[in-house]
């Protein structure tokens, strides 16, 4: 049941990205182009997601399991670590360069966008590199 719920949530998320235009890298790059033809529509999508997230996290704090019975584990960190700041900067550079972040890149891949294939490949390589670095760090 959890896998079916995850599949349905992913499909709804992907459909939302397509309908809102957020699977189109030009839309993202237009938002980041403050000196040119700035497109503020991404701000509305992010604002809507933030409002939904605020209510969802508030509700999740009151529960120990999801509606389907899975354990709810919320982040416990309260400090901004240098690793988080570096990772965020790398994410932003990739997002601003390619116009993709992971969700829209996977949607773009499913839509057959060649740029998405390159991005997802680079994303997977970055994830593998992170795992190697973490494994080495844990051994020390």
- pLDDT one-digit tens code per residue, 85-100: 998 998 889 888 888 9
**Which residues touch 40 (CB under 8 Å, ≥6 apart)?**
31
In the structure, what pLDDT confidence band is assigned to residue 135 with cuts at 50, 70 and 90? very high
Q: What is the pLDDT of residue 78?
A: 87
User: What pTM was computed for the model?
Assistant: 0.76
Phi-psi region of 99 (alpha: psi -120 to 50; beta: other; left: phi over 0): left
Instruction: Flag whether pLDDT at 124 surpasses 90.
Output: yes
Q: What is the pLDDT of residue 127?
A: 93
Q: In 3D, which of 121, 126, 50 has the Cα closest to residue 91?
A: 126
Scan for tokens 């508030």, then name that residue: 58
Instruction: Flag whether pLDDT at 45 surpasses 90.
Output: no
Instruction: Flag whether pLDDT at 7 surpasses 90.
Output: yes
Helices (H), the chain: 2-20, 25-32, 41-61, 82-98, 102-110, 114-139
| Eight-state DSSP code of residue 65 | B
């Amino acid at each position: 049941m959890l896998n079916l719920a995850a599949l349905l949530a992913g499909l709804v998320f992907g459909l939302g990205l397509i309908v809102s235009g957020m699977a189109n890298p030009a839309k993202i790059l237009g938002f980041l182009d403050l000196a040119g033809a700035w497109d503020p529509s991404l701000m509305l999508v992010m604002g809507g997601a933030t409002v939904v997230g605020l209510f969802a996290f508030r509700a999740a704090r009151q529960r120990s399991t999801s509606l389907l019975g899975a354990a709810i584990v919320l982040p416990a960190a309260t400090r901004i670590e240098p690793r988080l700041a570096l990772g965020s900067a790398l994410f932003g550079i990739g997002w601003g360069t390619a116009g993709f972040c992971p969700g829209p890149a996977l949607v773009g891949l499913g839509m057959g966008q060649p740029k998405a294939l390159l991005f997802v490949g680079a994303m997977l390589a970055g994830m593998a590199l992170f795992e190697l670095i973490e494994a080495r760090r844990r051994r020390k």
